[in-house]
Amino acid sequence: MFLRLPYPKMFMFGDENSGLSYLGRLAGDGVELAEIVASGHFPMDSNPIEMFRRNARFLDTISLGEGGSK
């Protein structure tokens, strides 16, 4: 379902979860992967500054039209 959404997509995960089996498939389907350093399952708790920085960068990309339709 997620992959079929007609919008730019980002999947955020902590670097402690960098071995997730489905990351390659997501990337292959055009999903931007946002690996948050020094973070586990809850990036918003363990590295909120980096999490918000990556969110802002993704949203800026979309608003500039580089990530697809707005």
| Distant-in-sequence, close-in-space partners of 21: CB < 8 Å, separation ≥ 6 | none
Q: Return the biggest CA–CA distance within the chain.
A: 32
The pTM score is: 0.82
Collapse the DSSP code of 58 into the 3-class scheme (helix H, G, I; strand E, B; otherwise coil) and give the result.
Answer: helix
- Give me the pLDDT at residue 69, please: 45
Q: What is the pLDDT of residue 66?
A: 56
State yes or no: pLDDT of 2 exceeds 50: yes
Q: What is the pLDDT of residue 7?
A: 92
pLDDT of residue 70: 41
Produce one character per residue of 31-45: b if its CB has 16 or more CB atoms within 10 Å, e if not.
Answer: bbebbbeebeeebee
Rg (CA), the chain: 12
Each residue's pLDDT tens digit, 23-54: 999 999 999 999 999 999 999 999 999 999 99
